[in-house]
């Protein structure tokens, strides 16, 4: 248990360092995934519009100047508006874009759980057959049915 906890803690710490390094020294590739072309409304990595090329050049210049990822994004938002971000910021009214899908998923799980419980509870209990000592643990057969079965088997064997 302790080794699993230590491994999880080490993983979290390693990823935290990577995330901080990414913020301080972003790459063009990461920013291309996080910024949208205002002309064609796709991420920069997929766009070949002239404005996308100018945005890439701007991002390269800002990376060379030593700007952080958040500084570059802030300058792009100043120039093009919040619509340039591929993911809305997690503040204010835009927080709904992050919370509503999670809340909808939680509601769906609860509804499915309640429906499954009701469905499972609505099934009738199977009839319990009391074993007869002479039937080897099986329920007794109706004598008329047993006679017809014997006749059919005799006719089939002949």
> Do residue 81 and residue 25 come from a single domain?
yes
> Which pTM value belongs to this model?
0.49
pLDDT in tens, 86-140: 877 677 777 787 788 999 999 999 999 999 988 887 777 766 655 555 556 566 7
> Do residue 78 and residue 97 come from a single domain?
no
CB 70 within 8 A of CB 25: no
Q: How far apart are CA 148 and CA 50, in angstroms?
A: 87
Domain range for 37 is: 21-85
Q: How far apart are CA 141 and CA 147, in angstroms?
A: 10
pLDDT at 130: 54
> Do residue 76 and residue 111 come from a single domain?
no
Residue 10 in domain: no
pLDDT at 5: 56
Look at residues 85, 101, 135 and tell me which one is the last residue of a structural domain: 85
pLDDT at 1: 59
pLDDT in tens, 38-92: 888 888 888 889 998 999 999 999 999 999 998 999 899 898 888 888 877 677 7
Nearest by Cα to 72 from 57, 58, 86: 58
Residue 11 in domain: no
H-helix segments, 1-158: 2-24, 28-34, 50-64, 69-80, 95-122, 143-157
> Do residue 27 and residue 64 come from a single domain?
yes
Say how many domains are in the chain.
2
Please check the confidence at residue 14 and state whether its pLDDT lies above 90.
Answer: no
> Do residue 50 and residue 103 come from a single domain?
no
Grade residue 22 by pLDDT with cuts at 50, 70 and 90: low
pLDDT at 111: 95
Residue 127 in domain: no
> Do residue 37 and residue 67 come from a single domain?
yes
pLDDT in tens, 146-155: 899 889 988 8
Residue 12 in domain: no
């Amino acid at each position: 248990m302790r080794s699993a906890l230590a491994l999880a803690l080490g993983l979290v710490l390693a990823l935290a360092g990577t995330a901080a390094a990414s913020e301080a020294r972003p790459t063009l590739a990461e920013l291309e995934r996080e910024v949208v072309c205002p002309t064609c409304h796709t991420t920069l990595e997929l766009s070949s519009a002239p404005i996308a090329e100018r945005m890439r050049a701007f991002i390269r210049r800002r990376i060379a100047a030593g700007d952080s990822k958040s500084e570059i994004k802030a300058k792009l938002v100043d120039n093009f508006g919040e619509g340039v971000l591929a993911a809305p910021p997690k503040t204010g009214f835009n927080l709904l874009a992050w919370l509503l899908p999670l809340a909808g998923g939680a509601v769906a799980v609860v509804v499915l759980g309640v429906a499954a419980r009701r469905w499972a509870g609505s099934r009738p209990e199977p009839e319990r057959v009391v074993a007869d000592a002479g039937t080897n643990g099986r329920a007794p057969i109706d004598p008329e049915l047993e006679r017809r079965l014997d006749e059919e088997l005799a006719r089939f064997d002949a």
